[in-house]
Structure formats: C-alpha cells, structure tokens
Structure 1
C-alpha cells in the first residue's frame, strides 16, 4: 500500500529530518510538509493524506487540525519531545492513533510504526507505556477506582472489546477474538470511546487500567 503523509512541525531541523526518513521508506508515496496547523488544514482537505504526523511540542494549537483529520479517517501519529508527565498529559487530551519520541526516531522505527498504525494497532514507545501504567497505579492508590460506574456505561460486548484493547490487540484481532466483522468492531470502539468520554484508544486503555476494567468483559 502506498502511503501519503502530511507532516506538521514548526522546528525546521526536526521536520526536515523526519521528512528525509519518510522519503527513505519504500511504500511512502508522498510527503506533504507544513510548518503549522493553519497551513496544514488546507493541505489536509485538498490531499486527504493517509497519515498525519504532528510534533506535539511545536504547536499548541493542533487540536482542531487533529479533530479534522480524525473526521476524515486520517491516522494521527504524534511525535513527542519527552514522554514525561507534561507531554503525556497533553497527548492524552488530543486524538491520536500512535506515538513516537524524537530521540528514538530512526528509519526502521518509523517504518514499523507506520505499518502498525495502518493495521489499527496503537504504537507507542515503551517509556510512554510505562508512564501510563505508572499514572494508573498512582491514581488507583490515591482513590478506589469507580469500576461499577464505568461498567454500567458499557455493554458486555464493549467491555470485551476494551479488555482485548488493553492486551494490545488491533481492530482485526479484536474482530477475530469476538467473532464479529471489522465494521462491527469500529462501531463498538466508537460507542465505547463516547461512553467513556475518551478522545482515543490510549485514553481508553489508561482508564481501563485505572478503573480495574481490564478483563471485566470476560467475567
């Protein structure tokens, strides 16, 4: 599959470095480079890219662009400078399908991340995954998770899908696990995110860990 990518970042050195890496990946057909969200909105509408790559630290006004990309079914890959508490909190408030850290960027990492993104997995650096688990653990220690409240919002099928999502499964894998169609999984996921008030799958996983929902749909 040939991939068209929209790359957004104000830091020219970082943006050009990522652009050069993207051009070296065999199935990347086109890289459209923009310095900010205002310029990128027009490019997004005109070219309908498969993936939007945005540098989280560069542009505090990304949210409308990312929401627009999500509505157009463009996958969103957020690049973070430091997967610490501040950027993790910022990322959790934005729609995102995958995550990378600037210092860990190499061509093989970028190529693998794009592949996983396009098969509905949620690629993220191990440091970010550890931070999410650490946050969930702190929150659980501070107060008992409102598990009953969350469970009452979701159907049994949505709880089952959430449990498989926590295990790191893609939509296709969840469809096989639940013996339903890919389209049905997308409907279940969309409904689940709305009910949990989560902007993306990463938030849903963090909430499931915090609320003790992992595995709840199997019992």
Structure 2
C-alpha cells in the first residue's frame, strides 16, 4: 500500500503529504488544460462552427467511447442536450446508453462494431460523431469514425498521447490530441475541451 500511496505510510505525515499530492495533481491538471486550450484555439473555433451548422440543420450529436471515455461520452451528450444561457439544447445521444443493444451487438456480431452498427442505423449525413479515446487506438471507436465518414457525418475525435491510429489514419475532420500519457490528465483535459466546444457551438448557433 505504501508503494502506491506513500502519503498514507504510518511513519509519514499523512495529512501534509496528502495535501501536497493533491495540490501537485491539481496544478498539473490545470497547466495541461490551459496549454491545450491555448494551442487549440483556432481548431476549437473551426470545429464549433461546423457543429453549430450541423445543429442548425437539425443534426444530432452521437458520442461514444469505452470505459472512462464511455462515462465522458454520456456527460457530453447530457451537456449538449441541456440549454445553456440563450443557447437551446440539441439532440444528443451516447452510444453506450442502451445496455441491451450494446450487449446484443457485442454478443451476436462483434464488440468491434458496437458503435459502427448503431451509427449505420441512426446516423444521417450532416449529423455529428464525437469519439473519445485516451489512446486513439480503440478498434470499435475507430470503426465508428469510419462509419460516420461513410455516412457523411461531421467527425470529431479526442485522443491522448500522440493520437494513435485516430491521428495516423486521419479519421476525424476535427482532431484534438491531449499531449499526455496519463489517462487521468487526458480525460480531464478532454472534459474541458468538450465543455468549450459546447460553449462555442452554442454561441455560434445563436449568432452571439
């Protein structure tokens, strides 16, 4: 236990070490998010404009990912559905929200296609597909983006580290890579990016 959490070691000052550890992680997270936002400003604006145009035309947002990224995708769908100021909510669906459908596709077909098959059935040209992955290499996420491209959807990708195959294969019209190998820091920064996109797309849609 002490090797994983040294601030809990019985011979240490647990309270002081815990505070220091928390402060260091918070500072690291904040620095990364500010750096990412500073470097991606123009790209975020361009993506938000494309998303706003899709929503004005009646488009739906489909968000998807695995594990923690699945939870983040659920949060993204909720954030976009919720009205914010003068900006109304938009139709937004998380593709991991239907457990029966997800497990049926995984069991009867293959887990690699759980997002692609849903997009093939639900997606329309001009809709928005937002894929979240810390590695950029999840096969089912990549296949989801490939299917979205075939349909003619606006594709948005969020990845960590070097972007993985998502970046290498150019699968997203708008790609945001968080330069970190820490899953925690990547997910924190991706959450911030999604909230910024919601804010910018709402303003663009409202013309403010």
Q: Into which bin does the TM-score normalised by the smaller protein fall?
A: 0.3 to 0.5
Structure number with the bigger relative contact order (C-alpha 8 A, sep ≥ 6) is: 2
